[in-house]
A and B are shown apart, each in its own frame.
Chain A
Amino acid sequence: MPALQFVLPSLLLLLTLGGIGAVRPRSPRTALIVYGGTAACCAVLVLAALVHLLGQGGVWRMPVPVGLPWLRSELVLDALSAVFLLMVNLAGVTASLFGWGYGRAQAGSGHGLEPGRVLPAFPLFLAGMNLVLLASDAFLFLVGWEFMSLTSWLLVLANHREAGNREAGRIYLIMASFGTMVLLLCFGVLAGSAGGYGFDDIRAAPHDPLAAGLAVMLVVLGAGSKAGLAPLHVWLPLAHPAAPSHVSALMSGVMTKVALYALVRVLFDLAGTPDWWWGGVLLALGSATAVLGILYALMQDEMKRLLAYSTVENIGVISVGLGLALVFKADGQQGVAAIAFSAALLHALNHSLYKTLLFYGAGAVLTATGQGGLNRLGGLIHRLPRTAPLVLVGAAAISALPPLNGFASEWLLFQAVLSGPQLGLWEMKVATMVVGVALALAAALTAACFLRFYGIVFLGRPRSPAAAQAREVGPAMLLAMLLPAALCLLVGVLPGSVLALFGDAAAGMVGTPMDSRAGTLAWMWLAPAAPGDGFGGNSYSGLFVLGLTAALTVLLRLLIVRTSDAAVRRGEPWGCGHPDVGPVAQYSGDSFSQPLRRVFAAGVFAARERVDMPEPGEMRPARLEIRSSDPAWTWLIDPLCRAVGWLADKVNGMQFLTIRHYLTLMFGALVFLLTVVAVVK
């Protein structure tokens, strides 16, 4: 398979491009070389992943000449890696394209994107993510992981002059180091006393339940914090929006998926036979994450923060899918586990498509207006006639509207939830129902959230001069949005073909690929075959829904044209007869979410409104104050960050010791370690 021979050169080229980016970053030629080269490398890796998924499967190995003397490092591409490789690099191609256009537009408009801080780190970021997916031992994996974390940290700090971004960078660094440390411990536990850090050794070694359980807790903590599982999600909405839009798209759309890959790799592959409570943990965390994430997204008044919180929700949904797969696998029902696992993978792919699209859309709006706040936008459907329909596709897809892709994965996930009653444990039977209702609630709130997002940003009348004077973005950015939008439709209409790609990964992780009743017509239908006595006869076809709605609309249109006169008269908006007071009378983001805030957010988020209305005759303006707080921030992250800051202050003193003190410290450390070794031996 020749395409696979290009995997290692592509990785090396990505590393080289990082170096090129550092040389004269302000020159447009450098930007073209870096983004063009990155897009080419990612395209090659997409091809390699597709070749692997469409081919006979199996495992592709290539030794690399780095690593520890006693650990032969290899790049290994199996079906699971290939699925995630596809997601990461598809987004990599569009992000490079968007980044190139974005950099040029930002340089022209003077919104202050510093190419010197973006160009070197961007290819390295992608290289790090790819390395994580291809690593075959704990060391290479963690090297890739740190590469990914540190380069994305640099990218978060690309606009470091804003104080908010510096704070975001600090918290991101703390959370990233925390995550890596926990993962290090996790692999340590998995490797055991034999110290085999290669994934093959870990797979082969027997794991006692205690060690496996500990490793599971650690990986949920480490990878979960990177992915954004509640309550460790708080850094996402700070860090993701701080970076330039194409990097936000990658961080939110695919870096979280790389974290999920780590979760899948350890839970389904490395840690041995699963216990049912592993899945239970994921189900509980996932459903809480989904509902809390989307509720908080509903209350955001900044585009990219809103999108970042919506990523938290999607990660919750995917985790629920993985949790269901684990529970069913532990219960010995591999058929249903394959449905849940495929649904999780499909949702991950879908999220990577529509979330990058939406972040590019936000980037386009930022380029066109310089405004990121919902309440200063509006009416952009007229000013950005090409961006607006593309973002609408993204908003509809994430709201799980048929026939787009979001609905296909959600439908499949519900089918897995509905098989819950076949589980052996009655606690899990009830739990799957509760999880199902939580998923349904999250889905409904998502539709409300993106109705608000699209309605406030693109519809209505402009709320600021900047929005009124917006100009459409360039062709590179539009093409970068068109690609994921087209894929959203394609995956939604033909989910069967995409699921066929995931068959080997599901077989590798849960024991069997997803079975379809639809046989040779599987590409048209979503019809999971029910194993045993269970669920049957359910099917859905995005292709038919698309065809039918198109046909009916045409029919309707013909009928209407026949009976009515086609003229349309333009007039003043009627507004129920009230005189128009201008764009300020429109609903803003805050007023839109007010009913939802009252119903849902008063409890958990302590959302409060205070209205300061002047008495008649007073001339001061009225004020509305809305406050809410994320409990995870108050109780967990803030104390943690303050503790780290305090410790750093204390340790800072060690920079200024005399040579005598340093020698004493080293001596002390040596004695301490020798004592430890002596005691352990």
Chain B
Amino acid sequence: MSGQVSEAALAVLFQCVQMLVVLALAPLLTGVVRGIKARLQGRRGPPVLQPYRALLRLTRKEAVVAENASWLFRATPYIVFTMLWLAAGLVPTFTTALALAPVADLIALVALLTTARFFTGLAAMDIGTAFGGLGASREAMISALAEPAMLAVIFTLAILLQTTSLAAIVDGTLGQGVGLRVSLALGLISLIMVAIAEAGRIPVDNPATHLELTMVHEAMVLEYSGRHLALMEAAGMLRLLLFMALILCVFVPWGIAQPGDGPTAWAIGLGSFLGKLLAAAVALALFETTVAKMRVFRVGEFLGGALLLGLLAAIFLFVSTAL
């Protein structure tokens, strides 16, 4: 009994640590990706800690809100940030012994992301300028394809491991080992494509531009300033971290501590997570410097491909198990 109690207490502790870890690491990850990209492009680039300073500076600045903005506009940054923080807190990074693991599974995680996106879109349309509508409309098109593609990948994982709970997926992969499968490879490619689209990275969206022809996410947060902008930016950074952590924990879970593990395993979990994250950041920076941004209407084909890959992954699973 006392063992159970201490295990529960540990899970709560880990959950709090997890929430803080994702919060602390998200700006660093963005800074690292920017830094590596600058190096690859032959620039020196800003210091990796620059995103922290930028966020801090924004929170201190005065918030300017358009005259006809409603309460929804001012509430949205809080809603969006909370949703992403909660979602990022649900993805196992260094341990699967998380208190919130039963509260929301992968499907609920997708829904939390949808909620954040929904409110971002609403806030974008609240001011009544052309840019907000443009961003919301493009984002709606992108997410209409990205979300089912992501769910298709989740279906594949769920069928393979008989669960949609993230912690159980990691435990399952670590425990029994699912081996190399065609479906998993297809699912991985599909999920990476979705992550690129959802996190607003090149070639779907360019986080560093204010060019009306190409921007999607930026067009939606254009009217924000001060602390509201800080929250929206921080939410964007959390989103990037979340997708990376999700891919890492599902496809390369090795090193993550499990319930019952000791302090060494926790340290290994944290260390391996940082290492994997750095590798992912390098990969993303490399990828982003080698591809060009695509036209908005090509995104439909890109994500349609991701959706088909996700579905193929699920169907291949039946074929391979039937053989």
Task: Please measure, in the bound complex, the distance between the C-alpha atom of A319 and the C-alpha atom of B117, giving whole angstroms.
Answer: 28
A573-B67 contact, Cβ under 8 Å, with A459-B125, A538-B105, A556-B82: yes
Give the dominant DSSP class at A's interface: helix
B109 to chain A, nearest CB (A): 10
Interface residue from A415, A455, A539, A575 paired with B121 (Cβ < 8 Å): A455
Closest to A524 in B: B103
Q: Is the CB of B108 within 8 A of A563?
A: no
Q: Is the CB of A437 within 8 A of B129?
A: no
A456 to chain B: which residues have CB within 8 Å? 125
CB proximity to B under 8 Å, residues A456-486: 456, 459-461
Q: Is the CB of B67 within 8 A of A572?
A: yes
Q: Is the CB of B314 within 8 A of A451?
A: no
Task: Please measure, in the bound complex, the distance between the C-alpha atom of A536 and the C-alpha atom of B172, giving whole angstroms.
Answer: 12
- With an 8 A cutoff between CB atoms, is B322 at the interface? yes
Q: Mark B77-119, 1 if CB is under 8 A from A, else 0.
A: 0110111011000000000000010111101100110110110
> What number of B residues sit within 8 Å (CB to CB) of A?
88
A537 to chain B: which residues have CB within 8 Å? 163, 165, 168
The listed residue with most B CB atoms (<10 A of its CB), out of A565, A586, A595, A600, is A595
- With an 8 A cutoff between CB atoms, is B244 at the interface? no
Interface residue from A379, A401, A443, A565 paired with B128 (Cβ < 8 Å): A379
Q: Mark A565-606, 1 if CB is under 8 A from B, else 0.
A: 101111111111010100101110001111110111000000
Interface residue from A411, A557, A591, A600 paired with B107 (Cβ < 8 Å): A411
A32 to chain B, nearest CB (A): 35
Q: Is the CB of B72 within 8 A of A381?
A: yes
Q: Is the CB of B118 within 8 A of A445?
A: no
A563 to chain B: which residues have CB within 8 Å? 56, 59-60, 227
Task: Please measure, in the bound complex, the distance between the C-alpha atom of A527 and the C-alpha atom of B314, giving whole angstroms.
Answer: 24
Q: Is the CB of A444 within 8 A of B143?
A: yes
A447 to chain B, nearest CB (A): 6
Q: Is the CB of B137 within 8 A of A599?
A: no
- With an 8 A cutoff between CB atoms, is A548 at the interface? yes
Q: Is the CB of A595 within 8 A of B296?
A: yes
Q: Is the CB of A568 within 8 A of B130?
A: no
Q: Is the CB of A448 within 8 A of B130?
A: no
- With an 8 A cutoff between CB atoms, is B147 at the interface? yes
Task: Please measure, in the bound complex, the distance between the C-alpha atom of A133 and the C-alpha atom of B127, giving whole angstroms.
Answer: 48
A417 to chain B: which residues have CB within 8 Å? 155
Closest to A592 in B: B137
- With an 8 A cutoff between CB atoms, is A418 at the interface? yes
B54 to chain A: which residues have CB within 8 Å? none
A598-B64 contact, Cβ under 8 Å, with A460-B127, A568-B74, A587-B136: no
Q: Is the CB of B144 within 8 A of A445?
A: yes
A346 to chain B, nearest CB (A): 15
Interface residue from B86, B117, B118, B129 paired with A586 (Cβ < 8 Å): B129
Closest to B116 in A: A401
Q: Is the CB of B114 within 8 A of A401?
A: yes
Interface residue from A540, A553, A572, A595 paired with B137 (Cβ < 8 Å): A595
Q: Mark A534-570, 1 if CB is under 8 A from B, else 0.
A: 1111111100110011001100110010011101111
Closest to A598 in B: B297
B105 to chain A: which residues have CB within 8 Å? 538-540
- With an 8 A cutoff between CB atoms, is B148 at the interface? yes
> What number of A residues sit within 8 Å (CB to CB) of B?
87
- With an 8 A cutoff between CB atoms, is A170 at the interface? no
- With an 8 A cutoff between CB atoms, is A309 at the interface? no
B131 to chain A, nearest CB (A): 5
- With an 8 A cutoff between CB atoms, is B133 at the interface? yes
- With an 8 A cutoff between CB atoms, is B158 at the interface? yes
- With an 8 A cutoff between CB atoms, is B162 at the interface? yes
Q: Is the CB of A553 within 8 A of B78?
A: yes
Q: Mark A402-432, 1 if CB is under 8 A from B, else 0.
A: 1000010001001101100100001001100
- With an 8 A cutoff between CB atoms, is B305 at the interface? no
A502 to chain B: which residues have CB within 8 Å? none
A454-B136 contact, Cβ under 8 Å, with A436-B155, A572-B67, A587-B130: no
- With an 8 A cutoff between CB atoms, is B311 at the interface? yes
B200 to chain A, nearest CB (A): 16
- With an 8 A cutoff between CB atoms, is A434 at the interface? yes
B62 to chain A: which residues have CB within 8 Å? 565, 567-569
Q: Is the CB of B151 within 8 A of A436?
A: yes
Task: Please measure, in the bound complex, the distance between the C-alpha atom of A527 and the C-alpha atom of B103, giving whole angstroms.
Answer: 10
Task: Please measure, in the bound complex, the distance between the C-alpha atom of A585 and the C-alpha atom of B133, giving whole angstroms.
Answer: 10
B278 to chain A: which residues have CB within 8 Å? none
A455-B86 contact, Cβ under 8 Å, with A381-B70, A437-B310: no
B188 to chain A, nearest CB (A): 18
B72 to chain A: which residues have CB within 8 Å? 381, 392, 459
Q: Is the CB of A448 within 8 A of B141?
A: yes
- With an 8 A cutoff between CB atoms, is A441 at the interface? yes
Task: Please measure, in the bound complex, the distance between the C-alpha atom of A392 and the C-alpha atom of B165, giving whole angstroms.
Answer: 30
Closest to A555 in B: B82
A454-B122 contact, Cβ under 8 Å, with A448-B144, A539-B105: yes
Q: Is the CB of B210 within 8 A of A401?
A: no
Interface residue from B147, B223, B231, B311 paired with A433 (Cβ < 8 Å): B311
- With an 8 A cutoff between CB atoms, is A236 at the interface? no
| Contacts beyond the supplied A455-B124, A569-B64: 10 A-B pairs with Cβ under 8 Å | A396-B115, A437-B310, A441-B144, A443-B147, A451-B122, A539-B102, A553-B78, A575-B223, A591-B133, A598-B300
A-B contact list, 23 entries, CB within 8 Å: A378-B128, A382-B68, A396-B118, A400-B111, A415-B164, A436-B151, A436-B152, A437-B148, A437-B314, A444-B144, A447-B147, A456-B125, A527-B102, A535-B158, A537-B163, A538-B105, A538-B163, A541-B103, A552-B86, A573-B68, A575-B223, A576-B222, A587-B136
Q: Which 8 A-B pairs have the closest CB atoms?
A: A587-B133, A455-B125, A460-B128, A461-B128, A448-B140, A440-B148, A595-B141, A444-B147
